[in-house]
């Protein structure tokens, strides 16, 4: 099963969908036009069931195989949302909405999965049920979590779930995957330091929150460098440092710090959370100030099940013969993790060639990747549920 010939024929049509999505980017859950078009197309293909409004604006299509002797159900997932970035690609089909663009290639993911759905609805050469999942709000909104909370997994009886993301820097047609942690858990923290504000010329009458917060920022860097096993992955980044005044002669009463924590395993995650609290509160106390820490868990680790990783790699091998099965994990996070927490499955990268990185204003999805991506999606269904 190399790239399926049908996808060479369908390429102009799939490319046209992709470029249409690219021209009309939508953010987070506000993907009404995109989701509407996805639903119309899925109905046109003859899907057995198309359900809109799952996880607010998610769409699910159900395609039954020629037979269903074993009750098998495989889920395939793509994301539909764009980013609040001003496009700088200069392509003819650039975003028509200033300040919004498909800078993560979700236009490509949606188009490739639509292509696979069209092929699967035409051929139905499998024994079981394929469920195609189009989620909103991957970029920080937790659209995948919302679809899971809406009961999607149970409602459609999904037993395994597979996702894909394009990746610049990997040649087009090449795949990359690894068993275990593929993407990090992304948490947020906020620290409010409270001291005693006052006149900057009388620091002895104040408790200088700026100085205390600066000590906390530096001390937090000891978590990664001194506390966590150097062979485990961890990122602690303080990204906001806000005093309540912009004056040059006022010691602020409070300072706000905000940042992100990226980890690959639960023990490290819990440990870092506890250390941030200890360090912030202890450092504040040492200076006579107080620190209040709020810590919020975000997207969990994207965890590829070993067996399913092998299935995904095997299909990729058949599609292009080019699969790296030991790609390094990334410290970015992925909302598909909520689906992988519910059912075994795997998440794979598909090369986007030598382009700007995702989330860059000059990034663009490479349409040459479409036949590979659509073939992989369709191949997962045919190989996991071979025709009876
Ligand atoms: Zn992204
Ligand atoms: Zn993305």
The per-residue pLDDT for range 136-187, each reduced to its tens digit, is 999 999 999 999 999 999 999 999 999 999 999 999 999 999 999 999 999 9
The alpha carbon of 337 and the centre of ligand 1 are apart by a number of angstroms equal to: 14
Beta carbons within 10 angstroms of residue 244's beta carbon: 13
Q: Which residues surround ligand 2, an ion (CB under 5 A)?
A: 104
Q: What is the pLDDT of residue 2?
A: 63
Give the pLDDT band of residue 386 (cuts 50, 70, 90): very high
Give the pLDDT band of residue 124 (cuts 50, 70, 90): very high
The alpha carbon of 359 and the centre of ligand 1 are apart by a number of angstroms equal to: 6
Q: What's the rounded Cα separation, in Å, for the pair 99 and 23? A: 12
> Whose CA is closest to 101, among 112, 110, 93?
93
Q: What is the pLDDT of residue 181?
A: 96
The alpha carbon of 255 and the centre of ligand 2 are apart by a number of angstroms equal to: 33
The per-residue pLDDT for range 318-377, each reduced to its tens digit, is 999 999 999 999 999 999 999 999 999 999 999 999 999 999 999 999 999 999 999 999
198: CB partners within 8 A, 6+ apart: 205, 206, 250, 251
Give the pLDDT band of residue 5 (cuts 50, 70, 90): confident
The alpha carbon of 104 and the centre of ligand 1 are apart by a number of angstroms equal to: 5
Eight-class DSSP state of 127: B
| Mean pLDDT for the chain overall | 97
pLDDT at 1 over 80: no
Q: pTM for the full model?
A: 0.93
The alpha carbon of 356 and the centre of ligand 1 are apart by a number of angstroms equal to: 13
Q: What's the rounded Cα separation, in Å, for the pair 1 and 371? A: 12
- Are 346 and 177 within 8 A, CB to CB? yes
Name the closest ligand to CA 167.
2
The alpha carbon of 94 and the centre of ligand 2 are apart by a number of angstroms equal to: 18
Q: What's the rounded Cα separation, in Å, for the pair 98 and 87? A: 7
Q: What's the rounded Cα separation, in Å, for the pair 299 and 289? A: 32
The encoded tokens of residue 265 equal 């395993």
Q: What's the rounded Cα separation, in Å, for the pair 235 and 257? A: 16
Q: What is the 3-state secondary structure (H, E, C) of 153-202?
A: HHHHCCCEEEEEEEECCCCCCCEECCCEEEECEEEEEEEEEECECEECCC
- Beta-strand relationship, 73-79 and 160-167: parallel
The per-residue pLDDT for range 293-323, each reduced to its tens digit, is 999 999 999 999 999 999 999 999 999 999 9
Q: What's the rounded Cα separation, in Å, for the pair 21 and 105? A: 10
Residue 45, Cα to own-chain centre: how many angstroms?
A: 27
The alpha carbon of 281 and the centre of ligand 2 are apart by a number of angstroms equal to: 36
- Beta-strand relationship, 198-199 and 250-251: antiparallel
Q: What is the pLDDT of residue 4?
A: 79
Q: What's the rounded Cα separation, in Å, for the pair 183 and 256? A: 29
- Are 152 and 58 within 8 A, CB to CB? yes
pLDDT at 261 over 60: yes
């Amino acid at each position: 099963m190399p790239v399926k010939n049908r996808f060479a024929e369908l390429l102009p049509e799939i490319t046209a969908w992709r470029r249409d999505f690219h021209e009309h980017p939508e953010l987070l859950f506000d993907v009404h036009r995109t989701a509407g078009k996805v639903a119309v197309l899925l109905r046109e293909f003859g899907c057995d069931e198309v359900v809109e409004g799952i996880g607010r604006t998610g769409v699910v299509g159900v395609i039954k195989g020629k037979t269903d002797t074993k009750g098998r159900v495989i889920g395939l997932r793509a994301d539909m949302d764009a980013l609040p970035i001003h496009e700088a690609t200069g392509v003819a089909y650039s975003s028509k909405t200033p300040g919004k663009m498909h800078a993560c290639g979700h236009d490509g993911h949606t188009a490739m999965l639509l292509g696979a759905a069209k092929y699967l609805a035409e051929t139905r050469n499998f024994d079981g049920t394929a469920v195609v999942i189009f989620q909103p709000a991957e970029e920080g909104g937790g659209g995948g979590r919302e679809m899971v909370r809406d009961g999607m997994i149970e409602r459609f009886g999904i037993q395994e779930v597979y996702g894909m993301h394009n990746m610049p820097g990997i040649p087009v047609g090449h795949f990359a995957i690894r068993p275990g942690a593929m993407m990090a858990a992304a948490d947020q923290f906020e620290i409010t330091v409270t001291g005693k504000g006052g006149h900057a010329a009388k620091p002895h009458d104040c408790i200088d929150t700026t100085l205390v917060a600066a000590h906390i920022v530096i001390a937090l860097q000891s978590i990664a460098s001194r506390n966590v096993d150097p062979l485990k992955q961890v990122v602690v980044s303080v990204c906001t440092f806000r005093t309540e005044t912009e004056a040059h002669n006022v010691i602020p009463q409070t300072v706000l710090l905000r940042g992100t924590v990226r980890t690959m395993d639960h023990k490290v995650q819990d440990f870092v959370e506890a250390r941030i609290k200890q360090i912030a509160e202890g450092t504040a106390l040492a200076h006579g100030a107080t620190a209040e820490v709020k810590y919020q868990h975000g997207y969990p680790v994207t965890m590829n099940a070993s067996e399913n990783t092998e299935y995904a790699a095997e299909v990729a091998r058949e599609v292009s013969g080019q699969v790296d099965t030991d790609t390094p994990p990334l410290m970015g996070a992925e909302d598909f993790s909520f689906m992988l927490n519910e059912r075994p499955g795997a998440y794979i990268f598909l090369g986007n060639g030598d382009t700007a990185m995702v989330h860059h204003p000059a990034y663009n999805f490479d349409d040459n990747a479409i036949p590979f991506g659509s073939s992989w999606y369709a191949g997962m269904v045919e190989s996991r549920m071979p025709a009876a």
